[in-house]
Structure 1
Amino acid sequence: METTHTNEPTRYSAEDLAEFEAVILTKLNKARQDLSHLKSSISRDVYGEEGRSNVSTFDDGADALEKEELNQLAARTQRFIADLERALFRIKNGTYGICIDTGKLIPKARLLAVPHTQQSIEAKMGRK
């Protein structure tokens, strides 16, 4: 970690950044797989064309609700992927791990748990 004259760290070391990058890439790959599975589930026709005439209105409603829930989950997963990709960009441009509210280094434990975060817990809770 780079430090200032007050010995407070201002940047993570290359080794730390490599560790964060590995965590992010693992989460990114998993999220992309999840999104692919969700998209496949959304587009799948469960009943086929022949079975459609025998399906009740209740089943149609349940299918519509399930499809809506899958769409919401897919949208959330797409946002998560975008957040992880932006975190990788911050690693490359040297701003990763710095709280956007306080300018201080976000604790490593928080970044390992939520690698796409841009806020320390204190800033997120409003106790800057």
Structure 2
Amino acid sequence: MQAQSQTRYSDEELAEFKAIIDAKLAEARKQLQFYLDQMTEQTNSEDGKLRGLDDGTGTMANEELHRLASRQQQLIQHLENALLRIQNKVYGICRVTGELISAERLRIVPHTTLSIHAKQNR
């Protein structure tokens, strides 16, 4: 008798993934707040304003902080979307192949929507 292939993760497995995502989300929000605080500090710092006028380092640092903050915001959005997929019980299903993404991949990149096979064939 052949085992039927699994079409979705069980509620217990989804709970495990939710815990992983919640932890990553908390860390991402903490990191985003750090970047935002750094931008505010740099903006309000007289030393930063004067040094930036002289050599452009203030502008470069500010652009880098904006880039990092934007990247964190994207990660947060991806993680929040993953939580919605868990809530809707469609988490872990590859959007290209329709098959389950391996649990190992989801533990490493919990917001992914592509299986390794689909990602390699893009």
TM-score (norm 1): 0.86
The offset of 1:8, in angstroms, is: 1.1
Q: What is the aligned residue count? A: 120
Work out which of the residue numbers 9, 17, 20 in structure 1 matches 2:17: 20
Distance 2:31 2:72 in 1: 8
Residues 49-128 of structure 1: pairs in structure 2 closer than 5 A: 49=46, 51=47, 55=51, 57-58=54-55, 61-126=56-121
Consecutive unaligned residues of structure 1, counting only runs of 5 or more, are none
Supply the RMSD in Å over aligned alpha carbons.
Answer: 2.1
> Percent of pairs identical after alignment?
43
Q: Find the counterpart in structure 1 of residue 27 from structure 2.
A: 30
Given residue 72 of structure 2, which amino acid in structure 1 is its aligned partner?
A: T
The offset of 1:48, in angstroms, is: 3.7
**Cα gap change, 1:53/1:12 in structure 2, threshold over 3 Å: closer, same or farther?**
closer
SS in 2 for 1:43: helix
Consecutive unaligned residues of structure 2, counting only runs of 5 or more, are none
**Cα gap change, 1:47/1:20 in structure 2, threshold over 3 Å: closer, same or farther?**
closer
**Cα gap change, 1:52/1:101 in structure 2, threshold over 3 Å: closer, same or farther?**
closer
Distance 1:52 1:12 in 2: 51
TM-score (norm 2): 0.90
Distance 1:116 1:53 in 2: 38
Distance 2:93 2:99 in 1: 6
The offset of 1:52, in angstroms, is: 6.9
Bigger Rg over Cα: 1
Give the helix-richer structure, 1 or 2: 2
Q: Find the counterpart in structure 2 of residue 8 from structure 1.
A: 5
Question: Are 2:42 and 2:62, in contact at CA under 8 Å, matched by a contact in 1?
Answer: no
